[in-house]
Amino acid sequence: MSINAKELSKGIENEIIGWRREFHRCPELKMDMDKTEKLILRILGEIGITDIRTGIGGKGIAAVIHGAKPGKCLGIRADCDGLPIKEETGLPFASENGNMHACGHDAHTAMALGAAKLIYENRDKLVGDVKMIFQPYEEGDGGAKAMIADGVLENPKVDALIALHTGNIYNGDIYTGELAWHPTSMSFCITAYKATFKGVGSHVSTPHLSRDPIMAAVYAASEIQSVISRNSNPGRPAIASVTTFHGGERNNIIPEECYFEGSIRTPTDEEQHLIVERVRKIVEGVAASMDVEGKFEIAFDLNASKMDPALVKKFREIAPKIVGEEHVKEITEWTPAGEDFARFTKLVPSLYIYHCSRFADKPNYPHHNPKFDVDEAQFWSGTAYFTQFAFDWQEKT
């Protein structure tokens, strides 16, 4: 039996906003989530949910709501961590600890808790189970990996997983209060790499006695700029960048070692493998040609977030109930951002959507900016999306 999630969500709008403001005051980083954990557990307790597991992968939380009828388990994931940014919004509930919720994770957590409240209060109409997953350490790719390794997708086994990202990521034809989707992927593959060059140092007056690692690194960094233009389809976005460069201590010394770091981003695993291997060959090849040692290392890599077609189809049925058909948009412009929700998508059918909460009547600042903020008037629709999905996705199964 379905419900009217739009009406129910609007009825608890002030609670959702209040929760968001509590989280916004105390943003925490990575796995250092003590205050955030206590707030989530307090609210879950106030709702009445008791089937709760804490400490998953460090500081992750999973709360299970059991429906009146047997069925599958839907996972709803909300990331909860902040960023090491000093807030400059001037909000009366601004951060008090030097960090900042500059990416909307405070809103994600509050909207998911709103859904938990509505799903729990209507569990007599619920088929199957809903597992609310509150994840730390999305910024930097640590949380999803740790929670998966610690069994968050088991007991009960998660059969499908949904999430959202709020804010002003897409500035084209997607406006505040609208819900948007991409048919294949909502984030890119990412490889963070380090290229190290080791040679022989000398005084700058005797360069012939050196094997210069800086020269090799400069040539390699320059060659990497050609990788995308000659190996990637120009109609598809891709990135191969050098973003840091480190070498030498003084102007009269040719050092023994130099390294640079960078990021490679593509829409698919196949494209990612091709570009990564081309960069690796450049690093090793240039080093060999200049008689220095070249080492290519991957700091971390992340797959793209693959969208499940059946869940996309279900979203296309559910979203108009919440915001109207005219406010459900297909994303036609990829953004080459990473999201560790992608790690879940390799293991379980998943859906990740964009929830637009940019302001219509005042300036908007980009994510990870000290002045970033979101329109609280849109929070109800994020809660409604989670809630309606929980009740509708098994209707025909």
Residue 236 pLDDT greater than 80, yes or no: yes
Cα angle value 26/31/32 (rounded, 5°): 40
Average pLDDT estimate for 87-103: 96
Distance between CA atoms of 231 and 94, rounded to whole angstroms? 46
Residue 396 pLDDT greater than 80, yes or no: no
Residue 180 pLDDT greater than 90, yes or no: yes
- Over residues 374-391, the pLDDT tens digits come to 999 999 999 999 999 999
- Over residues 38-86, the pLDDT tens digits come to 999 999 999 999 999 999 999 999 999 999 999 999 999 999 999 999 9
How high is the pLDDT of residue 154?
Answer: 98
The CA–CA distances, whole Å, from 322 to 1, 15, 77, 207, 351 equal 17, 19, 19, 69, 17
Cβ distance 51 to 129 under 8 Å? no
DSSP class of residue 241 equals: E
Q: Comparing C-alpha atoms, which of 120, 163, 117, 121 is closest to residue 138? A: 163
Tell me which amino acid residue 70 is.
Answer: P
Fold annotation for 189-302: Alpha-Beta Plaits (3.30.70)
Average pLDDT estimate for 332-355: 91
Is 1 buried (19+), middle (13-18) or exposed (0-12) by CB count in 10 A?
exposed
Average pLDDT estimate for 115-122: 98
Residue 317 pLDDT greater than 80, yes or no: yes
**Could you tell me the residue ranges of all domains in the chain?**
5-187+304-392, 189-302
Please give the distance of CA 273 from its chain centroid, rounded to a whole number.
Answer: 21
Average pLDDT estimate for 209-237: 92
Residue 112 pLDDT greater than 80, yes or no: yes
Weakest-pLDDT range from 73-82, 93-102, 170-179 = 170-179
How high is the pLDDT of residue 1?
Answer: 61
**How confident is residue 169, by pLDDT bands cut at 50, 70 and 90?**
confident
The answer to pTM > 0.75 is yes
Average pLDDT estimate for 345-351: 96
Residue 121 pLDDT greater than 50, yes or no: yes
Average pLDDT estimate for 127-133: 97
Q: Under CATH, to which class is 5-187+304-392 assigned? A: alpha beta
How high is the pLDDT of residue 394?
Answer: 86
pLDDT > 70 in the chain, percent: 99
For the chain, the average pLDDT equals 95
Token pair listed for 235: 């109609």
Average pLDDT estimate for 239-253: 95
How high is the pLDDT of residue 81?
Answer: 97
How high is the pLDDT of residue 116?
Answer: 98
Cβ distance 287 to 197 under 8 Å? yes
Q: 257-266 and 189-198 as β-strands: parallel, antiparallel, unpaired?
A: antiparallel
Average pLDDT estimate for 282-295: 97
Share of the chain residues as helix, strand and coil, in percent rounded to the nearest 5? 35, 25, 40
Residue 397 pLDDT greater than 50, yes or no: no
Distance between CA atoms of 318 and 320, rounded to whole angstroms? 6
